[in-house]
Structure 1
């Protein structure tokens, strides 16, 4: 059996870590293309100037236009070539990070998230959009970022909703990795087919990835509530440090090398409902986690544990919590159909999947969440 595991070359996090950015740039050369939204640059301008001066490097500001499109990537690649940049720095949220991945194409890439809202920073993939924001395609690169560096002081001063959303995304990691392992399904860490005859092709997950995914869930339960309170107060505590690592590193390694299953597919299906469009990725993933547990007939004790955790930190547990106060049977079937298209990760579940079963699981998950809220309040 072929197995695969993928990870960044270096991961480092700590208070005021951004002041060390120049050191990592210096390992590649004396300049870097900085891909960041102007508002993110403004938030950390003092730190960027300090690290540039200390390490005598130049950060070439790119005027990032906010969308990870083919046109923007081509413009930024030309800019990097014009200034002879030795590496690429992606600083900010998901669009800036994905754009930096596409510009770097797997080489000399430093990722600096300013929020801990998803597990994407460590991955070797990105999502491309059209210039007007519509989905275009997925992009995969030969390796994960060279450096992922997290300044926990910056994360602590970002809105708490981002951190909580990141916990929602991380919540799915263990349950999807467990399902993928039980079905012996492939994971994203495998090389593409056709690299060379006898080499490459799909791969299964490793025991290391499964262990990290389980640790991800355990840390959420242990430190999630304290981390939220710390972020509410804009202070860094050991619990917040642990949850930042969980949201970004443990979940990132867990999803890419452990596998995705029903949860992210159901999340994608839920985007068919207009009411969900104002909610973050991790918020919709949290509810989708409950739906997968129903779909696989998980033990009620486990479901209650997840419901209790979500409620304690303010994650959605029913459809109303993600903007869907009412839904018709046909709308729900449309959600399920989108979740069940042939290329979706839901087919990594360890049993056959039907549209009807997925729709039923969403219905029951919604009712469980509603009852839990009314019974506990």
Structure 2
């Protein structure tokens, strides 16, 4: 049996590549595993060898110490890989299949899964609805920034790529299907983006860039991306977005300068709870993005909020924010009859369609998010550079399987 190496959170500001156990078809006791999940048999699962496993901004929240994640938690919920073993109850997925793994873990059997709400599955996490790999309070399922990872309910969760050779040629695009492409797309769909829309996307990190790419795919007339990071704004500009630097002042005034009106049709929050204010000396102000979106979105408009908000933030700026209580101008949203869609993206609602768009050259999501490929043993470098605002999506390649012709370094 092979060994296994994985990226583990070791406390605020620290990640390490560690030796860990090769997966078995049973959920073992470990960091963050609820007692009711210990010993759970996974005959319906598969063991996947990651070809590409990405570093996510949500991982960074944990690594910064901004959640209640326990030390020792193996990270990684953006997984694309090859199936190397299947459990005795797996009927459809086969050894050798190249697959995308939705970051949501879902059973396919509960009430929520049956209506497509796979982001709030009722059976994979005994402590609250919803499960994910390598994430705080999400059921204790080990993450996939590793050489091998266990995927439960394999027939339901895994999206098999129809042509393995074609998929490997487009592997950096397909690697975005596990999370950020569907998440950005969900933010835009939730905000009502359609042909001719004007859209403001707060945040030019990978999810914001994926949302901007999605808005263009959906037919938006104008896509405006706002951020404090000049390099990330420059990246958004490379594929046709308008950009505003919120360090320069009020987004509404800048939006009016761009489109001749101070409001847009649709707003997307791709920042979340570590938001900063506006202006050159902006400090953390976690409700800033939500309040700004209400102000700059037209009356009757919709807000998609894929940006992460948490109920436990030890590093918050005040006691209320530590419990996820923010000073949101709900009265403004009510007065403007805004609709809000929050929560994790239900990846399975979109990933097959987005896969087809990639395979048939309708979209080049990798170009939009500017990936850099690193071996697993350089994961710490990826976390550090990403945390310092690099305008890249960091993709880990644990087995050296990503073709050099597709790589960006």
Q: TM-score, normalised by structure 1?
A: 0.26
Higher-helix-fraction structure: 1
Higher-strand-fraction structure: 2
Q: TM-score, normalised by structure 2?
A: 0.25
